[in-house]
Each structure stands twice: as structure tokens, then as C-alpha cells.
Amino acid sequence: MWGRLRVIVHRPLEGTLKFARIVLRPSGWYLQCVCETPPHPLLKKENAVGLDMGIRYLVADSHGHLIDNPKHARKTAKRLAHAQRTLARGKKGSHRRKKAKKKVARIHEHIANQRKDTLHKASRYYVDGYQAIVIEDLHVSNMVRNHCLAFAIADASWGMFRQYLEAKAESAGRQVIAVRPHYTSQKCSSCGEYVEKSLSVRTHVCPFCGYIADRDENAARNILQRGLQVLARTGPSSSRREGPEPSGESPSALKREAAGL
């Protein structure tokens, strides 16, 4: 069946239109268009940054810049729980239950859209500003098995942030280097000595060299140093990954500090 549809175009199409489809979301009907666009390489920069993913802050970088974690799911938890209780009390097949079901779906969609918007903006900030971006090679699927951290890690969406970062970097001609996350918060980024600290300690104070920094910034500086070592060995590329993890070390256990408990 052919015909015309009136749509609200929120932004002009870029590139060559490959195909389009109409989809139904909890908030209404949408026209999805897939376009093929050429790469848009940015001017090459001679700088690099290390990123430490966390829950207290979504991202802490090696230059001291912190991006707050909005915690979209946690902020909406009460409203979602109320809608879910209304849905559970509704009689199957009733108008009230159908209405409650749509409301629950719309809340989930709203959370997902907020999360994507935050991650797109954060990833764009680093791709636009740095030639080489060093991140931790986190095994998120293993980390969410920890029931104490699963909700917070899922809400932060570290895996989605990495996907957005790598996709934007490839198009812009940037480099993303993934390094092992082991002991990045315990090692002093100034002198290299290990300074053991509990999860509640948020400031890194080195008794060996006197270096003082935010715990997450210190970790990001260590991440950057590991990434620069990888670059020195392998040379530039759109994406790099550090070698295998040392045997006997659990990345999920060592990265519990990211939760900022």
C-alpha cells in the first residue's frame, strides 16, 4: 500500500538514503532512515587522554575533567516502581492494565533516551578534543554478576559508551586504545609506587613522592600511561587493545573500585 505520511523532521538527512522503515515505540510512531555517509576525519591533534569509567562520576579523565553520572534509572526508580505496581494490580485484558503497560514502556523508553543522549555527548566531547583516547578494557558482562553493583553498572552503561566512542573515533580518524584495568587506582601515577587504599578513600595521597590527586584522576593518569606504552610499541591505528591479562587476576574484582563505594 502506497500513500503519503506527514512527519516531523527533527534534523535534515545527511548522505545517501539507503532504506527507511516505520516503527512503533511506546511514545508513538517514528520513521527511521538509514543513510550512508562518508567518513568525516577531523584535523589531527597531537594529544591524548586517559578515561576512568565509574559510578560516582561517569568519566574522570587524566586532565582532571569530571563528567557527572546522571543515574537516570535511579532517579526514575520511584516513578517506574509506582507504574509497575499499578500494572501488577490491573486485571488482565482491562483498559486500566493496558494503559498502565503503556506507561511503564514509556518510562523505560525515556530512561533509554536520556542515557543515550548523555553517552553521545560525552563520547563526542572526547573524540572532538583528543587524537588518542585510552580506556580500560572492562569485562562488563562479568562485572554485572555482582548483585551489589549490577544496577549501578547497567545504569552507567560503560559498554555503550565504549561503542559510541569507538564508532565516532573511526569516522573522525581518532584512536581508541583499550588497556588492562588492573590496579589503576592503587598505583601512583607520579612515581609508580603502589599505594593501597580502601574503596571509601576518594583522594590519592602518595607517601613516597607526596603526589595528591582525586582517586579517579590518578587512575585515569595511569590508564593514559599504559595507552602511551601501547602506542610506542605498536604505532598509530584506529583502535588498539593491550595484550592478554596477567594470569590469576580478575578484572571484575580489581575494578570494583569504579563503583565509588
Which active-site residues does the annotation give?
52, 136, 216
Q: How far apart are CA 61 and CA 222, in angstroms?
A: 10
What DSSP designation does 249 have?
Answer: -
User: Residue 229: helix, strand or coil by DSSP?
Assistant: helix
Q: Give the Å distances, CA to CA, from 1 to 4, 5, 138.
A: 10, 12, 48
Asked if 239 and 175 touch (Cβ cutoff 8 Å), the reply is: yes
- Indicate the Cα dihedral angle 176, 40, 23, 5, nearest 10°: 170
Asked if 83 and 102 touch (Cβ cutoff 8 Å), the reply is: no
Pair type for strands 16-25 and 28-36: antiparallel
What residues are paired with 179 via a beta bridge?
A: 136
What residues are paired with 67 via a beta bridge?
A: 59
How are strands ordered across the β-sheet holding 48-53?
A: 66-68, 57-61, 48-53, 132-136, 175-179, 239-241
Nearest to 127, CA basis, from 24, 58, 44: 44
